């Protein structure tokens, strides 16, 4: 079973690289130092976890690196790692231990012919030995500290591996220039044949550590925190000090959903911050299921089976779908998924914005009323049609919150704070007036008459 997430949701909350904007969650966390670390980060962000134990193990590992004072002792060099990967993929890897006579013959031949393949082997062995020694020394240093479970498991395997005779010999090598052709051939046989899987494991571990160091550094720099993941049956989403990760100097808010109050209904005028809040909420819950720190001061989240959002949906002219019809199909798709699996977070921003006010009101009222009856699932829905909220005011499953807008001598002041209640602020004509839209159109008429 996998955590349910679809392409529309990944685009809505901008988890991976975005072609439409410079912001993405991936770009925020990507301070990795090598290609393997960058690829591993991408894989993590694309694959949320559904096992609370695995989430906690990863979260604890990242938090551990955030506090570790000697992360710089682990030398993660892009060029070195790229060359080792290239070396390991070379054809003609040895399948038998090297003999003295055969090794001497090959060495003489390679020196006379100046073989590029031998250079790759020689340099690959050199780089791999340096890498293994650095990883071993880092692990020895870690052994003297308290390590969380994931780090302890890796450290135990490293120490045990270096207890083997062939790996003990590696720790005694200080200068590759003093190694003869036979020793190089022997290590090539070990690295690319007998212990190929072990070398692969060590490389993957370094990529993991690269991600952990990168993510923990971002968490410390931006004030992110680690979420407490609760059992599914707790049915809770508590986000204190929640903020959107792309907004400079963001305003933080609190969001609380429970089994009995599982639908968040947010009203507010244009530009009040509804969309940013909904995105921040979905991003935080998503990152918590990866085991990553989230943009909030504190949080408790029960384990979910998936997230679906509808924030930036567009029409589909190739299929003849209008924006409204695309919205209807999206709601239908999500409803069908909920017939198979609940325990999800569902986010809708401005339901039925693609149709007239009357249909938007009636459609929103019907859909939200139906969703509010589904227990074991969380909903966050925004609208600027306040009449919908007023009609649902007696529904006890719904929390009515508004994005605050103050009136400062006739001018709006956006606080971006989430408050209890239903907003009655309408800013459409103010914005039209501020941008002199009507005057611009009227000036066209004056020029043409």
Sorting pLDDT into bands at 50, 70 and 90, what band is 100?
Answer: low
Among 172, 189, 222, identify where a domain stops. 222
> Do 120 and 143 have their domain in common?
yes
> Do 75 and 108 have their domain in common?
yes
Let me know if residue 23 belongs to a domain: no
How many structural domains is the chain composed of?
Answer: 2
> Do 83 and 205 have their domain in common?
yes
Let me know if residue 160 belongs to a domain: yes
Let me know if residue 91 belongs to a domain: yes
Out of 287-296, 330-339, 426-435, least confident range: 426-435
> Do 195 and 341 have their domain in common?
no
- pLDDT tens track for 157-202: 999 999 999 999 999 887 666 677 788 889 999 999 999 999 999 9
Tell me what pLDDT residue 26 has: 96
pTM here is 0.90
- pLDDT tens track for 223-278: 999 999 999 999 999 999 999 999 999 999 999 999 999 999 999 888 889 999 99
Let me know if residue 9 belongs to a domain: no
Among 222, 249, 265, identify where a domain stops. 222
> Do 290 and 304 have their domain in common?
yes
Look at strands 378-383 and 398-408 and give their pairing: unpaired
Instruction: Show the 3-state SS of the chain.
Output: CCCECCHHHHHHCCCCCCCCCCCCHHHHHCCCCCHHHHHHHHHHHHCCCCCHHHHHHHHHHHHHHHHCCCHHHCCCCHHHHHHHHHHHCCCCCCCCCCCHHHHHHHHHHHHHHCCHHHHHHHHHHHHHHHHHHHHHHHHHHHCCCCCCHHHHHHHHHHHHHCCCHHHHHHHCCCCHHHCCHHHHHHHHHHHHHHCHHHHHHHHHHHHHHHHHHHHHHHHHHHCCECCEEECHHHCEEEEEEECCCCCCCCCCEEEEEECCCCEEEEECCCCCCHHHHHHHHHHHHHHHCCCCCECCCEEEEECCCEEEEECCCCCEHHHCECHHHHHHHHHHHHHHHHHHCCCEEEEEECCCCCCCHHHHHHHHHHHHHHHHCCCCCEEEEEECCHHHHHHCCCCCCEEEEEEEEEEECCEEEEEEEEEECCCCCCCHHHHHHHCCHHHHHHHHHHHHC
> Do 295 and 317 have their domain in common?
yes
> Do 236 and 262 have their domain in common?
yes
Out of 74-88, 94-108, 304-318, least confident range: 94-108
Let me know if residue 18 belongs to a domain: no
Contact 359, 391 (CB under 8 A): no
Among 167, 190, 222, identify where a domain stops. 222
Let me know if residue 134 belongs to a domain: yes
Do you know the residue count of the chain? 449
> Do 403 and 295 have their domain in common?
yes
> Do 95 and 199 have their domain in common?
yes
Let me know if residue 51 belongs to a domain: yes
- Six token digits for residue 17: 């690289």
Residue 152 belongs to what domain range?
31-222
- Six token digits for residue 147: 């390590």
> Do 247 and 141 have their domain in common?
no
Tell me what pLDDT residue 104 has: 59
> Do 216 and 298 have their domain in common?
no
Sorting pLDDT into bands at 50, 70 and 90, what band is 427?
Answer: low
Q: Report the distance separating Cα 294 and Cα 285, nearest Å.
A: 8
Let me know if residue 177 belongs to a domain: yes
What CATH number is given to the structural domain containing 76? 1.10.1420
Out of 55-59, 104-108, 159-163, least confident range: 104-108
> Do 139 and 197 have their domain in common?
yes
What CATH number is given to the structural domain containing 404? 3.40.50.300
Q: Is the pLDDT assigned to residue 380 strictly greater than 80?
A: yes
Q: Is the pLDDT assigned to residue 81 strictly greater than 90?
A: yes
């Amino acid at each position: 079973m996998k955590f349910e997430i679809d392409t529309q949701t990944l685009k809505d909350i901008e988890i991976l690289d975005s072609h439409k904007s410079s912001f993405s969650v991936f770009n925020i966390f990507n301070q990795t130092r090598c290609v393997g670390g960058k690829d591993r980060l991408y894989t993590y962000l694309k694959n949320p976890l559904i096992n609370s134990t695995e989430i906690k193990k990863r979260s604890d590992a990242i938090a551990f690196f955030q506090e570790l004072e000697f992360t710089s002792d682990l030398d993660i060099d892009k060029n070195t790692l790229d060359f080792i990967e290239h070396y390991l993929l070379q054809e003609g890897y040895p399948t038998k231990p090297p003999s003295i006579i055969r090794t001497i013959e090959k060495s003489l031949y390679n020196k006379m012919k100046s073989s590029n393949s031998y250079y790759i082997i020689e340099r690959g062995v050199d780089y791999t030995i340096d890498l293994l020694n650095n990883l071993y020394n880092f692990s020895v240093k870690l052994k003297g500290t308290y390590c969380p479970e994931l780090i302890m498991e890796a450290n135990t395997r490293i120490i045990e591996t270096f207890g083997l005779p062939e790996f003990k010999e590696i720790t005694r090598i200080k200068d590759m220039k003093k190694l003869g052709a036979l020793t190089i051939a022997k290590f090539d046989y070990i690295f690319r044949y007998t212990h190929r899987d072990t070398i692969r494991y060590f490389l993957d571990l370094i990529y993991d550590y690269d991600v952990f160091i990168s993510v923990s550094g971002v968490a410390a720099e931006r004030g992110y925190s680690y979420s407490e993941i609760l059992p599914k049956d707790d049915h809770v989403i508590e986000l204190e000090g929640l903020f959107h990760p792309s907004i400079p100097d963001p305003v933080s808010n609190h969001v609380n959903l429970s089994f009995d109050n599982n639908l968040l209904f947010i009203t507010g005028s244009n530009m009040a911050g509804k969309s940013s809040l909904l995105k921040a909420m979905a991003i935080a819950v998503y990152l918590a299921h990866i085991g990553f720190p989230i943009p909030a001061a504190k949080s408790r989240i029960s384990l979910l089976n998936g997230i679906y959002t509808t924030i930036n949906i567009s029409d589909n002219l190739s299929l003849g779908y209008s924006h409204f019809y695309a919205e209807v199909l999206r709601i239908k798709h999500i409803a069908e998924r909920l017939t198979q699996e609940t325990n999800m977070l569902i986010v809708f921003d401005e339901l039925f914005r693609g149709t007239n006010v009357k249909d938007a009101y009636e459609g929103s009222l019907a859909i939200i009323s139906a969703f509010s009856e589904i227990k074991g699932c969380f909903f966050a829905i925004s609208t600027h049609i306040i009449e919908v909220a007023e009609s649902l005011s007696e529904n006890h499953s719904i929390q009515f919150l508004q994005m605050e807008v103050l009136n400062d001598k006739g001018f709006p002041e956006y606080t971006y704070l989430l408050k209890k209640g239903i907003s009655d602020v309408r800013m459409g004509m103010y914005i039209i007036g501020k941008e002199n839209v009507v005057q611009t159109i009227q000036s066209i008429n004056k020029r043409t008459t």
